[in-house]
Each structure stands twice: as structure tokens, then as C-alpha cells.
Amino acid sequence: MDMPITTREADGISIHVLPTTKFKTTTVSIELVAPLRPETVTFMGLIPAVLERGTRTAPSVKALQDRLDDLYGASLGSAMFKIGERQVAQFEIEVPNEKFLPMAPPLLERGIQLLTEVLLDPATDHGVFKSSFVELEKEALRKRIESLFNNKARYASLRVLETMCAEENYRLYSYGRLEDLPAITPERLYDHYREWLRTAPISVYVIGDVDPETVTRQLAEALTIPDRAVGTVPGTVVKPQVGRLREIVERFDVNQGQLVLGYRTPVTYSSADYARMVVANAVLGGYAHSKLFVNVREKASLAYSAYSRYEPHKGLLLIQAGISIENHDQALAIIKDQVEAIARGDVSAEELAQTKAMLANDYREMADSPGQIAHYAFTQRLEHVVRPVPELLEAFEAVTVPDLQAMIGLISLDTIYFLRDQETVEVSHA
């Protein structure tokens, strides 16, 4: 999978085009980046949803959908996520390629017009967002945040990050906080939106059978934003050293426990050891053949689920298991045994080969998704590192058991979190 060709960059707006005949659609993805901060996180979480409710010329969800239907069933969507301590808003449209529809209008050009209209020309009332739109999306966001508690695995994962990163902005949920919602008015939200447009670095990715010069010109003309003064988005704080081990027990009325071990590591996305840490995490708990799944779930029958997740943009590795509450001690011991097994070099040639094959398959499948291609390219640009997939696959293939031992030697246990059933109790260890 080749990387996009950068065809234009000005005023903090970069346009990247990857011409390819692989797809019968064209995808245009716009990413806007802002610092992840307590005082702005909920504003940012609301804005994309409010923008998707309508534009000046299509001032309702139905009118916007009619426009998409006119584009032969094009799809439009937005998302909010964090990459390290940066909050990213994504707006994406996928339109059929008119080359396959001889009688169709210029679908890509009209799709670009609609996408940029959603971003730049929203439906307003008296110069601010419509109050009905804001109230509807505030309520939807409230329900979204509250629903996190209903998924206990997701809740436990968020709580361990809140604990580990209590003094770091990474603790924040990417869509915001409940306590901010009452004070957000249409006026305040619109002011924040205008400032965000003015200052946010913007990246655009186009994937499809297109002419780079033509689509770049169309995007440059459509993405005209007055008074641009692009701000600096700080990098992510990485704390590889653990000051003290924290053990958190949180109690609710649950039948199944959630055990999460949070580790810190100095190895991040831009590190030379990145590929080695990816493989180490995959051997530990990335797949159904990995140590955690086989030994904690299958052999010992101690967990309903058991896996690990590496967060390279922050330098964190989480191990999580859904367990019967009475199995806590035994499950914790066996989980730690799997980490120690890799540290000892107890990894078979078959385990390592199967892990490399699974990773290679995952990355090759990414080439089948325009959205994933765009996200991969955007991530590299954000982290100021180039990782062509073929080179990354070669790096995975070169990983040895001693490399895995070295990577496990670089992780430090920061927090043990256990969700079981009442109030939060913290036990500190020297």
C-alpha cells in the first residue's frame, strides 16, 4: 500500500491524494486536530454531531439525506477520537465513481461541495447554531457517556486510564464530560466552532480513481476559511517510569469482574522499537492463539475474555480479562505468569510465526479499506514518521524471541484495576 501523494499545503491545510483504480467509489476524509484539554473536550465532542444535523442550504437531517440520495446513495459521517493527547474530528464522504455511471452528474465535485458545506456552512439561527440542534445533541451525548457504564469491559478500560493518567489529559474521554453539558449554549458552542476552524491544522485525504490536480483544485477552492491562524498542537506526554503501583477495587452490582493491568513503556509509535513492541503485544494477547487467551481462558478456564492492547501514541499497554469475581487471585497470578514467560524467552517458534502471519494479514487487509488507508496515512503525518506497510511487515518478520524479551523488559506495571461490586478503594504500595 503506497502512501498518499501530497499535492498541496497552505494555511495549515494539507491535501493528499492517492489515485487508485482498486475501488469503485471515491472517499474524501477531512481531519481537524486540536489539543485534548478539559476545558474544550466536550465542545469538540458536540460540534461534529451538530454540523451533521444540517447546512444552510439543507437545514435538516432529511434535507441533508436528500442531497446524499441525489449523489447516487453517497454516505456521509463524522467521528471523534484521540491520538495521544490530541483530539481529532473526522468528516468523511464516500461517493460512487461517476466513471462507472455514464449518465451521472459530477458526483465527486458535488460530494466535495456537500462535505465542505457541512463543515463550513452549518444551519444557523440568529448567527449561531440552532438551539434545537444543540439540545438534541447534548442529550445524545449525555446518553452516549452514560452508556459507557453499561459496557463493563469498556468502562473498566476507561477507568484504568483515568487512574493511570490522572494528571495527564489522556484521561479524558474523546467525546467529553457530563459535567460540561449544562453550561454549553448555542452561542458558546458556535464561538468555539469558529475558533476551532480558524486555528486547527486540517488534513484532507482522497482515495479513488481520480485526477490529483483536478481534485486538489476543487478541494482548495471549497476549503476557503477566512483569517486562518493555525495553532500549535502540543505533543503527547509520555511517562515511561512508574512512581508507585496502584491497586484499585471498584464495586458495583455485577456478576462478572473485570481485571485490568495497566503498564507504561517508553516505546511509542515513533520509536525505533515500535515494530518489536507490536509483535510482543500480539504474542502476549493480540489473538486467539496468544498466551493470555490460551493460558488464562482456554487452559485454566479463568476468564470469559483475556487480551492485551498496546496504545503506541501514549506508551501504554493494557491487559484485560473478564473473570468470575472469586477467580481474581488465580487469574492475576496466571496473567503475570504470561508476561514473565515472554521475559524468560518462553515463546515457541510456532507462536512467533503465527503471530507474524496474523499481523501481516491484518495490515494487508487495511489496503482493502479506503478509510483505513486514509487513517494510516494521517497517523503517520501526525506522528512525523513514515512507515510504509511493506517495510513494517519486514520489521515484524525480523523480530526474534530476544527482541520480545527486551520489549517486555521495557514495560512497567503502573495500575491494577478490579471491577467487582460498591465504593472505590485505593491501596498504595511503595
Backbone angles phi, psi at 141, to 5 degrees: -70, -40
- 309, pLDDT greater than 60: yes
Q: How far apart are CA 339 and CA 341, in angstroms?
A: 5
- 39, pLDDT greater than 80: yes
Query: How big is the CA angle at 384 (ends 88 and 111), to the nearest 5 degrees?
Result: 45
Contact 334, 363 (CB under 8 A): no
Residues in the chain: 430
Contact 412, 264 (CB under 8 A): yes
Average pLDDT over residues 244-265: 91
Average pLDDT across the chain, whole number: 93
Residue 292 pLDDT level (bands cut at 50, 70, 90): very high
Ramachandran category for residue 323: left, alpha or beta (phi over 0 → left; psi -120 to 50 → alpha): beta
Range list of H helices, 311-348: 328-344
Contact 3, 377 (CB under 8 A): yes
Contact 212, 7 (CB under 8 A): yes
Pairing of strands 13-19, 5-10: antiparallel
Residue 2 pLDDT level (bands cut at 50, 70, 90): low
Taking each helix axis from N to C end, the angle separating 212-222 and 107-120, rounded to the nearest 10 degrees, works out to 30
Range list of H helices, 29-126: 41-51, 61-70, 107-120
230 DSSP 8-state letter? P
Q: How far apart are CA 277 and CA 113, in angstroms?
A: 42
What are the pLDDT digits (tens) for 350-393?
999 999 999 999 999 999 999 999 999 999 999 999 999 999 99
| Per-residue cell: 278 | 507490536
- 430, pLDDT greater than 70: no
Q: Which residues contact 299 (CB under 8 A, 6 or more apart)?
A: none
Among the listed residues 19, 212, 204, 172, the one whose alpha carbon sits nearest the alpha carbon of residue 85: 172
Query: How big is the CA angle at 299 (ends 343 and 406), to the nearest 5 degrees?
Result: 10
What's the pLDDT score for residue 256?
86
What are the pLDDT digits (tens) for 382-424?
999 999 999 999 999 999 999 999 999 999 999 999 999 764 4
What's the pLDDT score for residue 100?
87
3-state SS class at 231: coil
Among the listed residues 43, 79, 58, 407, the one whose alpha carbon sits nearest the alpha carbon of residue 190: 43
Contact 174, 81 (CB under 8 A): yes
Taking residue 297's Cβ as centre, other Cβ atoms within 10 Å add up to 21
Average pLDDT over residues 254-279: 95
What's the pLDDT score for residue 1?
56
Among the listed residues 114, 79, 117, 29, the one whose alpha carbon sits nearest the alpha carbon of residue 381: 29
Contact 334, 313 (CB under 8 A): no
Q: Which residues contact 378 (CB under 8 A, 6 or more apart)?
A: 29, 31, 203, 205
The rounded percent of the chain whose pLDDT value lies above 90 is: 86
Q: Which residues contact 285 (CB under 8 A, 6 or more apart)?
A: 291, 292, 293, 306, 307, 308, 309, 319, 338
Q: How crowded is the C-beta side of 413, counted as CA atoms within 13 Å?
A: 16
Give me the domains of the chain, ranges plus CATH numbers: 5-222 (3.30.830.10), 246-428 (3.30.830.10)
Q: Which residues contact 124 (CB under 8 A, 6 or more apart)?
A: 56, 130, 190
Q: How far apart are CA 393 and CA 384, in angstroms?
A: 19
